[in-house]
């Protein structure tokens, strides 16, 4: 199968304009004849749903949380990038495009990345108009800070709550459309199946998590904005409910998955402290603006970090990457931390952490200034660990965080199933093999506010004459039946192991074998073990409770999908015989441990097709063509 990304013609800087010039339109009077389903109410989902409703379409918005405002976009702390060049420090759309494509280790599409940078400035305008309280200077102008992997200050922020504030802007826009009757919200609903009719996405099957009712919903187009699947590792920075089920079930209905093994480990998370742990709390990357990262020079140093004298500390990021230092990109910083921890230099009770030290910044700028910038993060740190980070270094460690991979989409954000769109972290599109800090909020917003509102009408314009599908169609009955069969199967399982047990076991396996570093041998072991684990799951799983409110039943469905997705992650990592971005294959590295990319053989995006057999997946390739940038060795030295 030839994957056509449908990149518009013309010069790089003209492509998006050219697309918009030729995109088909739907007459305002006809828009109310179209129903659109948007699954997910994070930044991508809420902004898309609100923007389409503003145009006049009927939108049904789904989320599993109790209200749309809780989607995991809220947790992004540090900021959102935009090429406004307010700091007059050399920024431009092209510079931002270049930083992003280089940050992604040249594994993303030029045209998509350029569009992301191009639309960034308008997002700041939109958010400010909605009342997002971005940080301001005393003269009243917007303020910026810098983030990892770039040498300009282009990050806009709202204390340590940028994601929360941006999401409230989108949520409030969504609530306005609810009040106007253009959006109907289905909270505490989980999408469990995609309905495909004559090759096109025509609806979903959802479960009402309060009543257990299985519902059919028909639409002219379906948008998945369901976020990332980093929770596959169990321990991650993600919310407990984040899951892959919507995209995975769409995948099994024909949507290809791309870059599945490209998963970012965030370098500044809190380390694991015990077996009971359910999540790894993130400390914003913005802390790296003022915090210095170090470990003791001597392996096995048991002293309390603040008692280790200056000359016995190894500021390994400053040492290895002097040009970017503590602001090196996430993949580099995480891998460097793992290297030191593996070398026995880790600190903390489990020797699994590194120090993030603010003593120099406090000395230079004063405690008050540091407090103003990061007080909520320092408070959070103290709540969790009982340690005052103004007085001693924070202990941090890399944790699974963001999935660059996701559903394959073309330039219009449409998957390989016509009428099915994927937005935000749920798609693979803009970040290549590694995402730069403060680009995820941006991508989610740009997809939802500015891209989908052009591309979805472009698709719908051709659907005007299509037959109106209702939920009586046999395809709905078949999809509903599949869902019910699976749920009944789970409810009847009286084994002896909980869904969490399988989730934790899978997560640990993936951390070890398909985490910060991977090898052929390890991945092959992991694939075999996951197959075993899946067999055991369908034999020994135990579910209690009824078919109404039942969090164990919800978890079982999600874990069942993870057990298939995890295997595909390993295949994706196994077949990519190079190191690029977050994907580090031990066989492909330089003598001093830097990644070795192979542009000759691997300058493509993987696109996996589900096959209902063993091994279950077929690899397609979308070649990446670079016409504007030279593929260089990505150096931050």
Using CB under 8 A as the binding rule, the residues of this chain from 83 to 122 that contact other proteins are 84, 86, 122
**Does residue 456 contact residue 47 with C-beta atoms inside 8 Å?**
no
Please, what is the angle between helix 551-575 and helix 474-491, to 10°?
100
Please give the positions annotated as active site: 330
Determine if 140 is a binding residue for other proteins (CB under 8 A).
yes
Determine if 125 is a binding residue for other proteins (CB under 8 A).
yes
Residues β-bridged to residue 67:
none
Task: Name the 3-class secondary structure at 257.
Answer: strand
Q: Please, which of residues 10-49 interact with other proteins by CB under 8 A?
A: 47
Please state the closest distance from residue 170 (CB atom) to other proteins, in A: 10
Closer to other proteins by Cβ: residue 213 or 551:
551
Q: Any residues with CB less than 8 A from the CB of 96 and at least 6 apart, and which?
A: 81, 83, 117, 120, 154
Please state the closest distance from residue 431 (CB atom) to other proteins, in A: 22
Please state the closest distance from residue 494 (CB atom) to other proteins, in A: 8
Please state the closest distance from residue 552 (CB atom) to other proteins, in A: 6
Closer to other proteins by Cβ: residue 153 or 164:
164
Determine if 498 is a binding residue for other proteins (CB under 8 A).
yes
Please state the closest distance from residue 631 (CB atom) to other proteins, in A: 35
Stretch of 335-343, 413-421, 473-481, 539-547 contacting other proteins, by CB under 8 A: 539-547
Task: Name the 3-class secondary structure at 179.
Answer: helix
**Residue of 12, 37, 46, 68 interacting with other proteins (CB under 8 A):** 68
Closer to other proteins by Cβ: residue 278 or 488:
278
Q: What is the 3-state secondary structure (H, E, C) of 451-490?
A: HHHHHHHHHHHHHCCCCCCCCCCHHHHHHHHHHHHHHHHH
**Does residue 249 contact residue 407 with C-beta atoms inside 8 Å?**
no
Residues β-bridged to residue 39:
62, 224
**Residue of 1, 9, 179, 474 interacting with other proteins (CB under 8 A):** 179
**Residue of 9, 28, 88, 139 interacting with other proteins (CB under 8 A):** 139
Determine if 368 is a binding residue for other proteins (CB under 8 A).
no
Q: Please, which of residues 235-274 interact with other proteins by CB under 8 A?
A: 239-241, 273-274
Other Cβ atoms within 10 Å of 136 Cβ, number: 10
Rounded alpha-carbon distances, angstroms, from residue 222 to 19, 61, 102: 21, 10, 32
Residue 106 falls in which region: left (phi positive, over 0), alpha (psi -120 to 50) or beta: left
Q: Please, which of residues 159-178 interact with other proteins by CB under 8 A?
A: 159, 161, 164-165, 168, 171-173, 175-176, 178
Q: Which two tokens mark 489?
A: 């199967």
Closer to other proteins by Cβ: residue 50 or 218:
50
Closer to other proteins by Cβ: residue 187 or 455:
187
Please state the closest distance from residue 197 (CB atom) to other proteins, in A: 30
**Residue of 496, 612, 623, 637 interacting with other proteins (CB under 8 A):** 496
Q: How far is C-alpha 227 from the geometric centre of its chain's CA atoms?
A: 6
Q: Is the CA virtual torsion 244, 247, 248, 249 positive or negative?
A: positive
Whether residue 615 has a cis bond before it, omega within 30° of 0: yes
Q: How far is C-alpha 347 from the geometric centre of its chain's CA atoms?
A: 29
Determine if 378 is a binding residue for other proteins (CB under 8 A).
no
Determine if 128 is a binding residue for other proteins (CB under 8 A).
yes
Determine if 181 is a binding residue for other proteins (CB under 8 A).
no
**Residue of 482, 500, 512, 540 interacting with other proteins (CB under 8 A):** 500
């Amino acid at each position: 199968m030839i994957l056509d990304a449908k990149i518009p013609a013309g010069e790089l800087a003209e492509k998006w304009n050219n697309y918009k010039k030729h995109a088909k339109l739907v007459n305002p009077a006809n828009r109310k004849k179209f129903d659109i389903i948007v699954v997910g109410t994070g930044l991508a989902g809420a902004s898309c749903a609100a923007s389409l409703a503003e145009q006049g379409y009927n939108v049904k918005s789904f989320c599993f949380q109790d209200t749309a405002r809780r989607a995991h976009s809220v947790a992004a702390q540090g900021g959102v990038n935009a090429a406004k060049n307010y700091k007059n420090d050399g920024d431009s759309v092209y510079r931002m495009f270049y930083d992003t494509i280089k940050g992604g280790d040249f594994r993303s599409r030029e045209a998509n990345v350029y569009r992301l940078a191009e639309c960034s400035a308008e997002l700041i305008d939109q958010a400010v108009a909605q009342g997002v309280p971005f940080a301001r200077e005393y003269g009243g102008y917007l303020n910026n800070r810098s983030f990892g992997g770039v040498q300009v200050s282009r990050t806009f922020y709202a204390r340590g709550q940028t994601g929360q504030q941006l999401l409230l802007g989108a949520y409030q826009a969504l609530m306005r459309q609810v009040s106007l009757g253009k959006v109907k919200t289905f909270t505490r609903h989980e999408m469990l199946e995609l309905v495909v009719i004559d090759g096109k996405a025509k609806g979903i099957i959802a479960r009402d998590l309060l009543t257990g009712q299985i519902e059919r919903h028909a639409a002219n187009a379906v948008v998945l904005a369901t976020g990332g699947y980093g929770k596959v590792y169990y321990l991650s920075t993600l919310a407990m409910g984040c899951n892959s089920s919507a995209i995975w079930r769409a995948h099994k209905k024909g949507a290809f998955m791309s870059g599945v093994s490209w998963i970012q480990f965030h370098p500044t998370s809190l380390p694991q402290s015990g077996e009971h742990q359910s999540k790894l709390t993130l400390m914003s990357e913005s802390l790296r603006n003022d915090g210095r990262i170090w470990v003791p020079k001597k392996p096995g140093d048991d002293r309390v970090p603040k008692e280790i004298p200056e000359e016995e500390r190894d500021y390994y990021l400053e040492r290895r990457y002097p040009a970017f230092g503590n602001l090196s990109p996430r993949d580099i910083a995480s891998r460097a931390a793992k290297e030191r921890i593996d070398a026995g230099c880790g600190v903390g009770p489990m020797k699994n952490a590194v120090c993030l030290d603010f003593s120099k910044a406090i000395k230079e700028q004063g405690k008050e200034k540091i407090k103003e910038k990061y007080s909520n993060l320092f408070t959070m740190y103290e709540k969790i660990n009982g340690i005052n980070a103004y007085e001693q270094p924070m202990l941090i460690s890399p944790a699974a965080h963001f999935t660059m991979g996701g559903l394959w989409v073309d330039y219009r954000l449409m998957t390989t199933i016509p009428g099915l769109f994927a937005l935000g972290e749920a798609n693979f599109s803009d970040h290549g093999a590694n995402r730069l800090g403060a680009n995820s909020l941006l991508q989610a917003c740009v997809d939802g506010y500015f891209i989908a509102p052009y591309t979805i009408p472009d698709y719908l314009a051709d659907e005007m004459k299509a037959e109106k599908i209702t939920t009586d169609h046999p395809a709905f009955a078949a999809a509903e039946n599949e869902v019910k069969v699976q749920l009944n199967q789970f409810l009847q399982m009286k084994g002896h192991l909980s869904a969490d047990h399988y989730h934790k076991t899978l997560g640990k396996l993936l951390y070890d074998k398909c985490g910060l570093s991977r090898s052929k041998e390890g991945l092959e072991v992991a694939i075999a073990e996951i197959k075993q684990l899946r067999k055991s799951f369908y034999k020994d799983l135990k579910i209690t409770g009824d078919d109404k409110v039942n969090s164990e039943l919800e978890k079982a469905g999600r874990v069942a999908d993870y057990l298939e997705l995890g295997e595909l992650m390993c295949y994706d990592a196994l077949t990519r015989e190079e190191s690029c971005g977050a994907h580090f294959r031990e066989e492909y590295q330089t003598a001093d441990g830097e990644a070795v990319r192979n542009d000759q053989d691997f300058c493509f995006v993987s696109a996996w097709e589900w096959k209902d057999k063993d091994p279950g997946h077929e690899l397609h390739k979308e070649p990446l063509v670079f016409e504007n940038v030279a593929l260089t060795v990505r150096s931050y030295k």
